[in-house]
Chains A and B, each alone.
Chain A
Amino acid sequence: MIPLSWYLILAAALFCVGLFGVLARRNAVAILMGIELMLNAVNLNLLAFWRYLHSDQVSGQVFVIIVFAVAAAEAAVGLALIISIYRRRQTVAAEEIDMLKW
Chain B
Amino acid sequence: MTVEQVLFLITGAVTLIAAVMVVTSPRLVHAGLWLIMALAGMAVLFVLLENGFLAVVQVAIYIDAIAILIIITVMLTRAVMRETEPQMNRLWVLAGLGASMLFAGLMAIALQLGATAPASLAAVLEPEAGLELLGRSLVDVDAFILPFEVASVLLVAALIGAIVVAMVPRGGASAQDGR
Binding site for B on A (CB under 8 A): 1-10, 12-21, 23-27, 29-30, 32-34, 36-37, 40, 43-44, 47-48, 50-56, 58-59, 61-62, 64-66, 68-77, 79-84, 86-95, 99
Query: Most chain-A Cβ atoms within 10 A of its Cβ — which of B86, B110, B118?
Result: B110
Q: Which 8 pairs show the lowest CB-CB distances between chains A and B?
A: A5-B114, A21-B23, A73-B158, A23-B95, A8-B110, A12-B106, A88-B178, A24-B92
Residue pairs across A and B with Cβ atoms less than 8 A apart, 20 shown, are A1-B121, A5-B110, A5-B114, A5-B117, A8-B113, A20-B23, A26-B89, A30-B23, A33-B31, A36-B66, A37-B23, A64-B54, A65-B57, A68-B62, A69-B155, A75-B69, A75-B70, A77-B158, A79-B162, A87-B173
Residues of A contacting B: mostly: helix
Within 8 Å CB of A90, what residues of B? 80
Query: Most chain-B Cβ atoms within 10 A of its Cβ — which of A36, A44, A76?
Result: A76
Q: Would you give the 0/1 interface string for B111-135, flagging 1 where the beta carbon is closer than 8 Å to chain A?
A: 1011101101111110000100110
B4 contacts A by Cβ under 8 Å: yes
| Assembly CA distance A76 to B118 (angstroms) | 40
Q: Would you give the 0/1 interface string for B86-114, flagging 1 where the beta carbon is closer than 8 Å to chain A?
A: 11110110111011101100110111011
- Size of the chain B interface, CB-CB below 8 angstroms: 98
CB nearest neighbor in A for B147: A66
Within 8 Å CB of A14, what residues of B? 15-16, 19, 38
| Assembly CA distance A53 to B107 (angstroms) | 19
Given contacts A30-B28, A52-B122, A56-B123, contact A25 B87 (CB under 8 A): yes
B141 contacts A by Cβ under 8 Å: no
Is the beta-carbon distance between B165 and A77 smaller than 8 angstroms? yes
| Assembly CA distance A12 to B19 (angstroms) | 12
Given contacts A16-B106, A73-B155, A88-B178, contact A79 B73 (CB under 8 A): yes
Is the beta-carbon distance between A34 and B138 smaller than 8 angstroms? no
Within 8 Å CB of A10, what residues of B? 12, 15-16, 45
Expressed in whole angstroms, the minimum distance between the Cβ of B96 and any Cβ of chain A is: 6
Is the beta-carbon distance between A72 and B65 smaller than 8 angstroms? yes
Is the beta-carbon distance between A62 and B147 smaller than 8 angstroms? yes
